[in-house]
Amino acid sequence: MGILFIIILVCLLAIPIGIYNKLIGLRQRVKNAWAQIDVQLKRRHDLIPNLVEVAKGYMTHERETLEKVIQARNMAQSAQGVKGKGEAENFLSGTLKSLFAVVESYPNLKADSQMLSLQEELTTTENKISFARQHYNDENMRFNTQIEVFPSNIIAGTFNFTKGEFFEIEDQSQKEAPKVQF
């Protein structure tokens, strides 16, 4: 009788432990996915000063546009939290778009080999950001779902698992991002 009781107790304990461990695993995956976005964002922020430097050599009138890009980049660099970063990146993308619109009117700058390779680098980084975001949001959704469904919501509530935020960037698919014709 005593043995049976112990077995039942162990079984009852094993279920919450399993759920807890699963939640921890999912949260780690979300963190890892976020780290991947961070790597790509950093790469983007590193590329922009070079881009501005090259553009400066050709552009004579559009100082303002260039300054705005640098400003937006600095803001994005110091932004905190998922939501803040998302907003700052959106703003940066907007200023970059206007920069590339201006570049169109400088044929020499457009054909500059350094500019072309920087543009390719920026394109690939932007694509990577959007894929990393997609991956992060997928992982996040899985984590959030697990927190909300029964019975793991009880465990999540007890141990204070909070839902992760989604990383939202204006829906600009790769097609709209600045793109090199090749």
Partner 1 sequence: MSFSFIDIEERKTKQIFFLFIFLVLFYFFSAWILTIVARGMVLLRIKKAVSTVQLFTLSPKVLFYIFSISLVVGMFHWFYSTHANLPRIIKTLKAQNIDKEDKYHKILRNVIDEVSVATGGRQIGCVVIPVYGMNAFSIADFSGNSVIGVTEGLLSRLTRAQLEAVIAHEAAHIVTQDTLIKTVAVSLFSIYGSIRYALAKGMRGAGRGSRGGAIIYMAVLYGVASALYSVSKLIGMFISRQCEYRADAVATRLVRDPLSLAQALRRISIGWRAGGMGYDSLESLFIINPNFSKLDEEEGALSNMFSTHPPVMRRIGTLLDMGHSDFSALKKNEGTKRKRYTDIRVAKVREPKWFVADGGKWSGPFPIHEMLTMGTLRFDSFIRPEGTDKTMLLSDDKNLVDKLKQKAPTGTNTCPRCAQSLSKVLYEGVPTLQCTICHGMFVSDDKMARIVTREEQGFPQEVIRKAKLIQEAGKKLHASSVRMKHELLCPKCGEVMVRHFYTFAYHVEVDTCSRCHATWFDVDELEIVQYMVENARNSNNLT
Distance CA 151, CA 155 (A): 7
Q: Which of 16, 20, 50, 179 binds partner 1 (CB under 8 A)?
A: 179
Residue closer to partner 1 (CB basis): 132 or 147:
132
Sign of CA dihedral 48, 122, 177, 85: negative
Nearest residue (CB) to partner 1, 43 versus 45:
43
CA dist list (Å): 120 to 14, 138, 139, 178: 52, 27, 29, 9
Helix, strand, coil share (%) of the chain residues, nearest 5: 80, 0, 20
Query: Would you give the binding string for partner 1 spanning residues 77-116, x where CB under 8 A is met?
Result: ----------------------------------x-x---
One residue of 19, 30, 33, 55 binding partner 1 per CB under 8 A: 33
* Site of interaction with partner 1 (CB under 8 A): 33, 36, 40, 111, 113, 117, 120-121, 123-124, 127-128, 131-132, 134-135, 173-175, 179-182
